A and B are shown apart, each in its own frame.
Chain A
């Protein structure tokens, strides 16, 4: 990247959730639902002596992208690690369920999810998990009618139950800075030991769970630079695409065969994972 391009580039990763949404929507079309002044905040954090955010860290907005009606749900990465609490989760689930009603009524509204989350908010436990399950169900139901667009850009990445939500999207857009995984590095290290996964080894972590690797393995459709315009263009293309079920969601047998080829005694390595994902069911899955 040359210097002029670097200076002209606007980062998407550095934006707050609200600024991310505002940047994606056509000028003047953004209408926020349950905005911060509604003060729909977490009822649980205050009880545990934790400061709440007035929108519970989730921005829901209706608007248009290139004239197509969309509903954006964006998780604020800076608030509690983008964790999904009862209220924030219900806001996303509710927005998706309304989009489903609209789709069934023949007035499609395309959902765009900006997923920046460590997963469920531990302080809200099952209340957050229940909301995540509702989000999963809504995405699966919506996929039959409209494209469901997921975007992970970093800095947090997308983990826990929400990584499943990302995986369920019909189109997933990631950056090199993004990460996607069921468990975060520290959880893996704590459960499996430092020999298995060193949570301080950042190159290793990104080589396995980073956006470029996930894209190379076919788990994300589009890899973008951290450039607000490039990401907006990718979202715009995804919103305009027809509803579809990508192969990664249909081809369950291939995924199961890949899992069976994994020997838990091996330490995972980026190149081998790429080879395994490129291989078909009948091919040998041993390390290259």
Chain B
């Protein structure tokens, strides 16, 4: 298991918390809570060792837009592929913004 902490510039805090996914094979759980003004944090716990560069690239791209709502994310990963990572984070973001369901 590896832990990874990332942070990014962001806009105003997200409106509410949201949950997406489960810690199942090839999947991950995203817990999204409003962050502090101007800063998003991402805490990752992953069952797969040695792929920090991929996480940094995948999550970095998602948070590249510094005007997005500020969130504090906790990710509990059980071997999700980058596509699933993107999907689950997007799902949680949409849910927090009041669009769709987690």
**Residues of A participating in the B interface, judged by any CB pair closer than 8 Å:** 16-18, 36-37, 46, 49-54, 57, 76, 78-80
Question: Considering the chains assembled together, what is the distance between the CA atoms of A18 and B31 in angstroms?
Answer: 14
User: Would you call B24 and A79 a contact (CB within 8 A)?
Assistant: yes
The residues of B that contact A50 with a CB separation of less than 8 Å are 1, 47
Those 4 A-B pairs whose CB atoms lie nearest each other, nearest first: A78-B24, A53-B23, A49-B1, A78-B22
Contact (A51, B1) CB under 8 Å given A78-B24, A78-B25, A79-B22 = yes
B40 sits at the interface (CB 8 A): no
Per the bound structure, the CA–CA distance linking A76 and B24 in Å amounts to 9
- Let me know if B22 and A52 touch, CB within 8 A: no
Among candidates B25, B27, B31, B47, residue contacting A36 with C-beta atoms closer than 8 Å? B31
Closest-CB distance, A38 to chain B (whole angstroms): 11
Residues of A within 8 A of B25 (CB): 78
Given contacts A50-B1, A53-B22, A79-B24, 6 further A-B contacts (CB under 8 A): A18-B19, A36-B31, A51-B46, A78-B22, A78-B27, A80-B23
**B17 close to chain A: CB less than 8 A:** yes
Interface 9-mer from B4-12, B58-66, B73-81: B73-81
Known: A37-B33, A51-B78. A76 touches B22 (CB 8 A): yes
Q: Are B76 and A54 in contact (CB under 8 A)?
A: yes
The CA-CA distance from A76 to B19 in the complex, in Å, is 15
B22–A37 CB distance below 8 A: no
- Chain A: which residue is nearest B77 at the CB level? A51
Find out whether the CB atom of A54 lies under 8 angstroms from the CB atom of B74: yes
User: Are B1 and A53 in contact, CB atoms less than 8 angstroms apart?
Assistant: no
Among B17, B23, B45, B46, chain A packs the most CB atoms within 10 A around the CB of B23
- Contact between A54 and B29, CB atoms less than 8 A apart: yes
Sample 10 A-B pairs with CB under 8 A, ordered by A number. A36-B19, A37-B33, A46-B1, A50-B1, A51-B76, A52-B23, A52-B76, A57-B22, A78-B22, A79-B22
How many Å from the CB of A215 to the closest CB on chain B?
28
Contacts of B74 in A (CB 8 A): 54
A124 → B minimal CB distance (Å): 16
Q: Is A16 in contact with B22, judged by CB distance below 8 angstroms? A: yes
Bound complex: CA of A76 vs CA of B27, how far in Å? 13
Task: Give A46 to B29 CA distance when docked, in angstroms.
Answer: 16
Option from B29, B33, B46 in Cβ contact (under 8 Å) with A53: B29
Residues of A within 8 A of B78 (CB): 51
- Chain A residues near B33 (CB, 8 Å)? 37
Residues of A within 8 A of B45 (CB): 51-52
Taking CB atoms, residues of chain A closer than 8 Å to B17 are 37
CB distance from B95 to the nearest CB of A (A): 13
The distance from the CB of A66 to the nearest CB of chain B, in whole angstroms, is 23
Determine the chain B residues whose CB is within 8 A of the CB of A54 once the complex forms.
29, 31, 74, 76
The distance from the CB of A88 to the nearest CB of chain B, in whole angstroms, is: 12
Measured in the bound complex, the distance between the Cα atoms of B24 and A36 in whole Å is 15
In the assembled complex, the CB of B37 is this many whole angstroms from the nearest CB of chain A, namely: 21
Which residues of B lie under 8 Å from residue A78 when comparing CB positions?
22-25, 27
Complex Cα spacing A49 to B33, Å: 25
Q: How far is the CB of A14 from chain B (nearest CB, A)?
A: 12
Give Cα A46–Cα B33 distance, bound, in whole angstroms: 22
Q: Which residues of chain B (1-60) have a CB below 8 Å from chain A?
A: 1, 17, 19, 22-25, 27, 29, 31, 33, 45-47
